A and B are shown apart, each in its own frame.
Chain A
Amino acid sequence: MTSTEKTPAVPAPRDADSPLLQVRDLHVEFHTRDGVVKAVNGVNYSVSAGETLAVLGESGSGKSVTAQAVMGILDMPPAKIPRGEIRFRGQDMLTMSGEARRKLRGAKIAMIFQDALSSLNPVLSVGYQLGEMFRVHQGLSKKAALARAVELMDKVKIPAAKNRVHDFPHQFSGGMRQRIMIAMALALEPELIIADEPTTALDVTVQAQVMDLLAELQREFHMGLILITHDLGVVADVADKIAVMYAGRIVETAPVHELYKNPAHPYTRGLLDSIPRLDQKGQELYAIKGLPPNLLHVPQGCAFHPRCPKAQDICRTDAPALHTLGEGRRSACHFWKETVHG
């Protein structure tokens, strides 16, 4: 089973300015019995080496689907990518052969999943699952791979790694399991890591530890990081820029501090306002009214208009373009000017 092929260098030329990953006008739909679910509707984003992009949004906003499309792990069918480009170091991964794409997975682009307990194979030891990366991508022997697995476990600060390498996922605590997921993603020192809600399943104290570890390792290896989350607290500390997603579209992008200070989309504003604050103790929590749209029937015009406090007639008929507000700042709202200053 051990394949000995080496990971080939990506043949595309690398100019210093071009981002590591560029997603352009990506569309993803799922063909189901009930109809076509338009999960991603024209997403654009980019990540450079050493940069952290946080993708923010509610469940069903398409943030995970976009990430899975980048990883190439969508089940097709039912998923389909009718339009769009996903360029890694300039090369479009959607037009690559399946085999070339597979060799990038894990080696150049790695992913950390949300629930480490279900995302790790329950019947294989963590040492085996970590070592598999080296055996498959680098052709290492079982023994050498196991030694590398112990090194990795040390790297993510799992105590007594040598004794625990033969343990199974269920024998670890939640935080330790997530460290193993991180170790697995880091194994081949990829250039880009996609972390899909890496701390959601963890206790708050452990969340901070895991996030710090991830940020530390990202700096050390100068990796690009896409952090998918719905937790605004996590984002503020680690992200460089933020993309807010709603109904399969990016509604706002901004450098992290500007977004917090001055959101330019009513949806972002709603998200920020719904964070519980100490100085408002005793008052009712703010919640964005209504529910996220059913992606089988995305509302006409701006998808957010049924829930938007600022909605006008134009919002019900015309989908807003992504207006450029300034350096790295964009908003898909007809009334972004009023929103920024309001």
Chain B
Amino acid sequence: MGRYVIRRLLQMVPVFIGTTFLIFVMVYALGDPVAAMFGDRAPDPATAAQIRESLHLNDPLWSQYLQYMAGIFRGDFGTAFNGTPVSELMGSAFPNTIKLTLVAFAIEVVVGVGLGVVAGMRRGRFVDTGVLVFTLLVISIPTFVTGYLLQYFIGVKLAWAAPAVSVDVHIGELLLPGIVLAGVSLAYVARLTRTSIAENIRSDYIRTATAKGLPRRRVVGVHLLRNSLIPVITFLGTDIGALMGGAIVTERIFNIQGVGYQLYQGILRQNAPTVVGFVTILVVVFLAANLIVDLLYAVLDPRIRYA
């Protein structure tokens, strides 16, 4: 197990370098950061040259990348063009996004698994068809549509929930954005759970559990769920990264000053240090989530042993 973890960590190094280098090249090399700083006005050539020099923009690309990476490992993500250190932006953005992700994740797990179990145990019946149609609908409607619709009807018309999130970001305010963010993943979780439950409920060991005289709730809660949730948990693990990075649309709609909001602003203003910095952190989150899922797999399914 220990060796497996070390090997996996080592495998992450090239993935990390590869992804961050790609992002770096796309953001720095394909745009002109100095021009972006000045917006619509043409910069004074002397000043531009000076800024270029101070930002090492005249060095070869790989050298710039190395300098940037060296900075990251010292905790220095560079400075956004308005003078705020990127790490400061992260400090304010990540807590908000993490809160939103947790709310969305909780909804995804509870509602998604719940619907999946109910549908899987009554396969082919009315509830099952209902869940299938509902999830198909959720999957096919883009997030910005559900987002604006829910914001308008539940937030504005009915006023059941706040239509936008305040600066303090209360958990209660995050319920509506959480539902919007969780939507598509929730539908996938429900479908995955349904298939898994429907398959396992006919298995021999469930028949054995029934023959042992266990109460129905124990047959389902211990024997059926324990087996059926293995693939679902794998999906959920990798989805955490997707939720954090995918909150751009949701955060825009509900005005949450999180990672998605900062990334959006960064891309819009060609604010290279912000974009590269945030994406680098998201890459790390993805990699860590994947590793944890793989390790969890061995805990959940004893038949899998890592060497």
Using CB atoms and an 8 Å cutoff, list the residues of chain A in contact with chain B: 1, 3, 71, 73, 102-107, 110-111, 113, 115, 118-125, 132-133, 136-137, 168, 170, 184
Contact = CB atoms under 8 A, between A and B. Distances in A.
B226 A123 contact: yes
B205 A120 contact: yes
Given A123-B227, A123-B301, 17 more contacts: A1-B217, A3-B218, A71-B211, A73-B210, A102-B215, A107-B213, A113-B211, A115-B204, A118-B205, A119-B207, A122-B205, A122-B227, A123-B230, A124-B222, A125-B302, A136-B218, A137-B213
A111 B205 CA distance: 12
Given A1-B222, A107-B213, A136-B215, A120 B303 contact: no
B37 to A, nearest CB: 57
A69 B222 CA distance: 24
Contacts of A102: 213-215
Q: Which 5 pairs across A and B sit closest by C-beta, in order of nearness?
A: A106-B213, A105-B213, A118-B204, A106-B212, A121-B205
Size category of the B interface is 20 to 34
B208 interface: yes
Contacts of B300: 123
Contact of B223 (A71, A124, A170): A124
Contacts of B45: none
Contacts of B303: 122-123, 168, 170
B215 A3 contact: yes
Contacts, number: 78
A339 to B, nearest CB: 37
A119 B210 contact: no
Nearest to A118: B204
8 contacts: A73-B211, A105-B211, A113-B207, A115-B204, A118-B204, A119-B208, A123-B301, A137-B213
Name the residue among A71, A121, A124 with the largest chain B CB count within 10 angstroms.
A121
A125 B300 CA distance: 12
A76 to B, nearest CB: 12
Nearest to B218: A1
B58 to A, nearest CB: 59
A309 to B, nearest CB: 38
B2 interface: no
Name the residue among B211, B213, B214, B226 with the largest chain A CB count within 10 angstroms.
B213
Nearest to B203: A118
B102 interface: no
B40 to A, nearest CB: 62
B203 A136 contact: no
Contacts of B207: 73, 113, 119
Nearest to A103: B213
